[in-house]
């Protein structure tokens, strides 16, 4: 049996399965607090998969705390609205986010997802991430949790974090054990709900004379509703590139089940058939979608089946789940990756407050993490489902609903909803908080007792009055 790190006093050895954005964020945070960890990624190499991704005030303060905000903004552009068209490019309506920066203190930004992944990966020491490690099963023995990989290697630690996506092998192994014990909720054994067949890509740099939108320093975010349950979208990002997405919505359980079997993970395989359906579709920037697809190298094209589900069981024993492994949401609201990183932030906060590495302390930290995150994740799944109907729903009632939302909802009501969503912005509680630069409210956040005590001790040692509220003030304005 192999172990990759020695137990340090009062600090658990953490194994993170999955090198996506949630797993990398957790690794970055554990690196900052000197908690021993290792990331196990099943892919043998980094692939630049994914398309456009947006970040908002819900997570950007964390990047500011980590000193990564400036780099993030260097490959991003802001956007304040999105326009929806029919398949003939007639405007169906616009969703506006007026006064975003004034209310939130940050612009909403958009960029090519591989750029963010590369930036975050650079924060992880190369000796703390191993590629080509596909986990087959997990188990707990002698106060340790073990992962068994497809190459016959075995690793052990005190905590196992499943950050390995919607089809998480960590979750599947955990749930198998719980099912055998008769303690797995029935809903957790059911499939994810029906969703979309999705294909995405990021083009090579294009000619701004052909696509004038590339000349602007803001994003032209567009969504197109086609016929026969097809929809697509494009958005410009820095570097004269265009990110695109193709969606086929399913309402037939048999078709969805077949697609689920074929497309359970991101990958460039089996894209040709889907491309044919969209090749002649009109691109709102000019030309056709086929021209954008042809301008995208095969290795930057990927296809996945998008589903949604909120699992009830996020942890048991020494294993805990984050991101899509415990709450998969469709990308209509652009909140999937944000919520995975929020999970990592809250989980790291809970780890920081652990008094020791005992199972009792680990269980308490897991419960605290779940209590802080579950309802917020549930709300985001509901919002994503709602926006999915707005941007891609094809039924008669969904079309009527969309027309009302896009054309008859007043700006003040949209602003009120945006303020409510923006009010949840968890930060790292063991670092000084990024200040609230906007006019909107912020939901209270549970403070870090250990950090407050450390601040008080430092202040006492320096002969000054301890500023124990400095770490919580900016997140406690209601």
Q: How far does CA 113 lie from the centroid of its chain? A: 11
**CA pair distance 414, 407, nearest whole angstrom:** 12
Alpha helices in 284-395 (DSSP H): 289-294, 336-352, 359-392
The domain limits of the chain are: 1-412
pLDDT of residue 266: 46
Is the pLDDT confidence value at 414 over 80? Answer: no
**CA pair distance 118, 348, nearest whole angstrom:** 21
Residues in a beta bridge with 159? 14
Digit-coded pLDDT (tens) for 415-464? 777 788 889 999 999 999 999 989 889 998 988 888 888 888 888 888 75
pLDDT of residue 254: 57
pLDDT of residue 469: 36
**Sequence-separated (6 or more) residues with CB below 8 Å from residue 75:** 111, 112, 115, 116, 119, 237, 238, 239
Mean pLDDT of 276-290: 96
**CA pair distance 75, 52, nearest whole angstrom:** 12
pLDDT of residue 194: 65
Which residue in the block uniquely carries the two structure tokens 């690794």? 27
Is the pLDDT confidence value at 406 over 90? Answer: no
**Sequence-separated (6 or more) residues with CB below 8 Å from residue 194:** 250, 251, 253, 256, 307
At 9, the pLDDT band (50, 70, 90 cuts) reads low
Which residue in the block uniquely carries the two structure tokens 């929020």? 342
pLDDT of residue 210: 97
Beta strands in 142-240 (DSSP E): 144-149, 154-157, 159-162, 193-202, 221-225, 230-237
Worst-scoring range by mean pLDDT, 22-26, 143-147, 272-276, 403-407? 403-407
Q: What is the DSSP string of 92-123?
A: EEEEE-TTHHHHHSS--EEEEHHHHHHHHHTT
Worst-scoring range by mean pLDDT, 38-42, 143-147, 450-454, 465-469? 465-469
Mean pLDDT of 327-338: 82
pLDDT of residue 229: 83
Q: Going by DSSP bridges, is the β-strand pair 315-316/221-225 parallel, antiparallel, or unpaired?
A: unpaired
Digit-coded pLDDT (tens) for 61-80? 999 999 999 999 999 999 88
Q: What's the chain's average pLDDT?
A: 87
Using a pLDDT cut of 70, give the percent of the chain over it. Answer: 88
The structure's pTM equals 0.90
pLDDT of residue 454: 84
pLDDT of residue 395: 72
Among 213-227, 258-272, 363-377, 459-473, the range with the most confident prediction by mean pLDDT is 363-377
CATH topology of domain 1-412: FAD/NAD(P)-binding domain (3.50.50)
**CA pair distance 475, 173, nearest whole angstrom:** 37
Is the pLDDT confidence value at 468 over 80? Answer: no
Taking phi over 0 as left and psi of -120 to 50 as alpha, with beta for the rest, 89 belongs to left
pLDDT of residue 473: 35
pLDDT of residue 272: 79
């Amino acid at each position: 049996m192999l172990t990759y790190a020695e137990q340090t006093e009062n600090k658990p050895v953490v194994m993170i399965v999955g090198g996506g954005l949630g797993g990398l964020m957790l690794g970055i945070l554990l690196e900052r607090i000197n908690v021993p960890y290792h990331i196990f990624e099943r892919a043998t190499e980094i692939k630049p998969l994914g398309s456009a991704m947006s970040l908002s005030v819900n997570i950007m303060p964390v990047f500011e705390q980590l000193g990564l905000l400036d780099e993030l903004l260097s490959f991003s552009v802001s956007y304040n609205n999105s326009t929806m068209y029919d398949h003939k490019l007639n405007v169906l309506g616009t969703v506006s986010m007026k006064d975003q920066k004034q209310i939130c203190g940050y612009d909403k930004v958009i960029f090519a997802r591989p750029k963010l992944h590369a930036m975050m990966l650079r924060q992880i020491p190369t000796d703390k991430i191993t590629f080509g490690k596909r986990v087959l099963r997990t188990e707990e023995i002698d106060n340790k949790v073990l992962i068994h990989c497809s190459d016959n290697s075995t690793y052990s630690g005190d905590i196992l974090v499943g950050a390995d996506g919607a089809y998480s092998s960590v979750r599947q192994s955990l749930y198998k054990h719980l099912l055998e014990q008769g303690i797995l909720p029935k809903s957790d054994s059911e499939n994810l709900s029906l969703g979309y067949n999705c294909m995405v890509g990021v083009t090579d740099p294009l000619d701004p004379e052909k696509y004038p939108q590339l000349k602007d320093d803001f994003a032209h975010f567009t969504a197109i509703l086609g016929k026969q349950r097809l929809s697509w979208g494009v958005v410009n990002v820095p570097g004269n590139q265009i990110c695109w997405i193709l969606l086929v919505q399913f309402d037939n359980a048999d078709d969805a089940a077949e697609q689920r079997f074929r497309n359970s993970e991101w990958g460039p395989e089996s894209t040709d058939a889907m491309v044919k359906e969209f090749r002649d579709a009109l691109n709102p920037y000019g030309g056709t979608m086929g021209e954008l697809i042809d301008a995208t190298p095969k290795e930057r094209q990927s296809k996945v089946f998008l589903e949604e589900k909120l699992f009830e069981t996020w942890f048991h024993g020494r294993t805990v789940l984050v991101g899509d492994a415990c709450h998969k949401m469709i990308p209509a609201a652009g909140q999937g990756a944000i919520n995975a990183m929020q999970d990592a932030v809250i989980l790291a906060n809970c780890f920081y407050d652990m008094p020791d590495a005992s199972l009792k302390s680990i269980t308490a930290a897991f419960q605290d993490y779940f209590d802080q995150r579950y309802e917020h994740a549930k709300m985001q799944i509901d919002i994503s489902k709602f926006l999915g109907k707005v941007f891609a729903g094809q039924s008669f009632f969904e079309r009527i609903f969309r027309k009302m939302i896009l054309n008859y909802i007043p700006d003040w009501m949209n602003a009120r909803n945006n303020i409510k969503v923006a009010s949840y912005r968890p930060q790292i509680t063991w670092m000084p908080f990024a200040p609230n630069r906007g006019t909107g409210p912020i939901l209270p956040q549970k403070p870090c007792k250990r950090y407050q005590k450390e601040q008080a001790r430092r202040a006492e040692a320096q002969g000054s009055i301890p500023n124990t509220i400095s770490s919580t003030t900016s997140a406690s304005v209601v």
